[in-house]
Amino acid sequence: MAGISGSAFPGGVSAPKAQGGLIVTGLCKSFGKTRANDDISVRLIPGEVTALIGHNGAGKTTFLNQIVGLTRPDAGSIMYDGTDLIAHPAQARQLCAIMPQVASSLEGVTPRQAIATAVRIRGVKSEQAQRAVQKTLDTLDLGDWSDRPGHKLSGGIKRLTSFGMAVTAPAPIYLFDEPTNDVDPVRRELLWTMLRRRAEQGATVLIVTHNLLEVERHADRYLLFNKGRLVRDEPTSALGLAEAKSTLSITATPEFLQELRSALDVKTSSSLGNMPDTEYIEKRIEGDSSIPREFTVTLSTDALELALPHVLSGIRAGCVESYRIGSASLADNYEEMINHD
């Protein structure tokens, strides 16, 4: 990307120039017999918002900690604009602004004081820091809590304060570990807006999250970790296209659903993730077996072509109350991507 100039950061602070990217090669880290990161190679590009997803224990936080210099890898390299971040962990911490998974302690300070302290530590001058802090407080709609003592704040406000501490000062690299946890839906959107602005200003943005809907809506790209390995690295714009998956949501009688399951070779809901072309989820309803039930099935193109004639026959027979076909989402494909690793 081209270099970024001007004063787009809050308070007139200069934005970072876009660089060649953060390049991770062959990264390995073990804790005892547990392989937390296993031969991870990836390039994180300035100007992109990249989401890092995966099960708990997949190695996401360990990956962030190695980038910022808090954890030393067993093998591999982490380079940024010609700088070896493993050999120079202090420089890594200068380049990276990080929001940890656990919210910062705010005992004895207000959100305004906490964010201002973090900004000053990163070298922003006092007058600029004050303007930048106020801009962040306004953007995240924290005005009513900005001068309230930390022990009187809710978990969500503390989380947003930690986010503000990481995002307010300019940095080439931003790392966020589950920043939207405990945050209300409105401020989640504000948070993602700030992340997008940082990327547009030339920064590299990496965010760990379990919210797959937010990944689809806001990220440019996602990395999927499983058992310490990078198993997917794709643009979010390609979701559902490479796999040619669709979802079929249908409300029908239990008898018809059983026939459709048999036709699709789906035996029980416990087979979720074990079938290569079909995944099955049913919302069970107790009582009269004649009451229509709703279920959603994720299908390959071939399986969908097989299902549709059965659905149309069910409509004519009065067994199907309604149905809907849509594109498969990241959430629909997530379990299969993990299980097929």
Give pLDDT, residue 337.
65
Give pLDDT, residue 84.
97
User: Does this model's pTM top 0.85?
Assistant: no
Q: What share of the chain is helix, strand, coil (3-state, %, to 5)?
A: 35, 25, 35
Give pLDDT, residue 301.
66
Enumerate residue ranges in the chain where pLDDT < 50.
1-8, 12-18, 240-242, 266-288
CATH code of the domain containing 329: 3.30.70.260
Domain extent for 271: 245-339
How far, in Å, CA of 102 to CA of 163, rounded?
11
Q: Are residues 167 and 257 in the same domain?
A: no
Give pLDDT, residue 310.
84
Q: Are residues 63 and 122 in the same domain?
A: yes
Q: Are residues 104 and 252 in the same domain?
A: no
Give pLDDT, residue 280.
41
Give pLDDT, residue 272.
34
CA-closest candidate to residue 43, choices 20, 65, 62, 63: 20
Give pLDDT, residue 267.
36
Give pLDDT, residue 306.
77
How far, in Å, CA of 278 to CA of 246, rounded?
10
Q: What is the secondary structure of 238-306 as a DSSP string? A: GTTTTTTEEEEEEEE-HHHHHHHHHHTT---GGGTTTSSSEEEEEE---S-TTS-EEEEEEEEHHHHHH
Q: Are residues 215 and 303 in the same domain?
A: no
How far, in Å, CA of 340 to CA of 327, rounded?
20
